[in-house]
Chains A and B, each alone.
Chain A
């Protein structure tokens, strides 16, 4: 049997590696000349914004992990609910509608979602969705209030939603550990850690 042409090559010069090398060399860096209306700023700051605070990050990852623990359809319904309701909260902030106790709401979201993950709570689907949606309003409102001046609104929004979805995806990926017994324990410990962090955030918000 004649070996295929790939097998005759040195491993270091496999076509895939050559292609990867070509792509890497040709990959453009960010060009900042004549950035029209702050588009680059809008998209990049939108992606970074959900990751700018530990309270947001922990809550969003916890949503993904909890969804993975609950299984289908919650595994996709919760991460779909959160960005949509969060965007609604962001819209309220942009409209100038005030929302009291935002920081407390965000801290309680980390605390509550961490507890849910720690206990592997299995409420009815509508209740889990409503809980996640309720907390998403606080996160969205906080982000909407903190929008940077001069950023391109639409590209910021695109980046913001993609960044949030990415954090949920990270949570779901972590939640895949739930297949193994040791993983289930690790997730519960992680949930307890998020809940403790939420308690600290709540302490700071109240004080």
Chain B
């Protein structure tokens, strides 16, 4: 009996998936919503995502207390940066800062540097303030407000929680090596970003 039900599921699920639904291209104009715009922003903006991942891995490697601090400090600092940006408009792109933070944070993860808690929290704060401030320029252009900000910091909270937690729980030496390898890759990407930035600046 149960077997028949699974067979039915086997046939019905693809049929349901194949049913055509109206395609909503250009969702920005059709009500996808500023909250969801904000929620998806870090995932479609690698220059924001990479340093966030790096500082999260760094916090996770340093332990649960560090992870908890970064979990709250990073979104708070990001929000503060965005609010500052509403008053003091950021001067265009600050790719140099993004590259520098990405390279430095990735290298700290790769080296498994045993930084004290205040320093890791300080780095998270600097990252949040700087990138939040830069994000505010995009928010002003898109004319999206508080809901976008809430979406962005919700996404950041989720990223830190979902990534730092498992890293804190890693005890096997090889698993920590995997995290360090990820840090080295982030640094490598940051170096190439720097090259691209200089190339773009030189025309």
Decide if A76 touches B177 in the complex (CB within 8 Å). Answer: yes
Residues of A contacting B198 in the complex (Cβ-Cβ under 8 angstroms): 94-95
Q: Across the interface, name the chain B residue whose C-beta is closest to A86.
A: B188
Interface bits A72-105 vs B (CB < 8 Å: 1, else 0): 0000100110011011101111111000000000
A89, B17: Cα distance in complex, Å = 47
CB nearest to B7 among chain A residues: A13
- Give A198 to B196 CA distance when docked, in angstroms: 31
Interface residues of A in 26-85 (CB under 8 A from B): 26, 33-34, 76, 79-80, 83-84
Question: Chain A's nearest CB lies how many Å from the CB of B154?
Answer: 24
Which residues of B (148-184) have their CB < 8 Å from a CB of A? 177, 180-181, 184
* Contact (Cβ within 8 A) A91 B110: no
| Known contacts A18-B6, A26-B17; A165 and B181 CB within 8 A of each other | yes
In-complex Cβ contact of A154 among B10, B17, B110, B196 (8 A): B196
Q: In the complex, are the beta carbons of B17 and A83 less than 8 A apart?
A: no
B64 at the interface (CB under 8 A from A): no
Work out how many contacts link A and B, with CB atoms closer than 8 A. 103
Contact between chains at B177 and A25 (CB < 8 Å): no
Q: Compute how far the CA of A75 lies from the CA of B126 in the bound complex, rounded to whole angstroms.
A: 34
Central interface residue in B187, B188, B191, by most chain A CB within 10 Å? B188
Inter-subunit contact B14/A90 (CB<8 Å): no
Q: Judging by beta carbons under 8 Å apart, are B17 and A22 in contact?
A: yes
**A76 contacts across to B, CB distance below 8 A:** 177, 180-181
Chain B contact patch, size range: 20 to 34
Asked if B189 and A158 sit within 8 Å, CB to CB, the answer is: yes
Q: Complex: how many Å from CA A93 to CA B199? A: 10
Contact residue among A15, A80, A92, A94 (Cβ-Cβ distance under 8 Å from B196): A94
Mostly, the A contact residues are helix
Number of interface residues of A (CB under 8 A): 39
Contact of B25 among A21, A33, A84, A96 (CB under 8 A): A33
Could you list 27 examples of A-B contacts with CB < 8 Å?
A: A13-B6, A22-B14, A22-B17, A25-B13, A25-B18, A33-B25, A76-B180, A79-B181, A80-B181, A80-B184, A83-B188, A84-B110, A84-B191, A87-B187, A87-B191, A92-B195, A96-B202, A144-B195, A153-B199, A157-B189, A157-B192, A158-B50, A158-B189, A160-B192, A161-B188, A161-B192, A165-B181
Can you add 20 more A-B contacts, CB < 8 Å, to A21-B13, A84-B188, A95-B199? A9-B2, A13-B3, A25-B14, A80-B110, A80-B181, A80-B184, A83-B188, A84-B187, A86-B188, A87-B187, A88-B191, A90-B191, A91-B194, A154-B46, A154-B196, A157-B193, A157-B196, A158-B46, A158-B189, A161-B192
Question: A residues near B, CB below 8 A?
Answer: 5, 8-10, 13, 15, 18, 21-22, 25-26, 33-34, 76, 79-80, 83-84, 86-88, 90-96, 144, 153-158, 160-162, 165
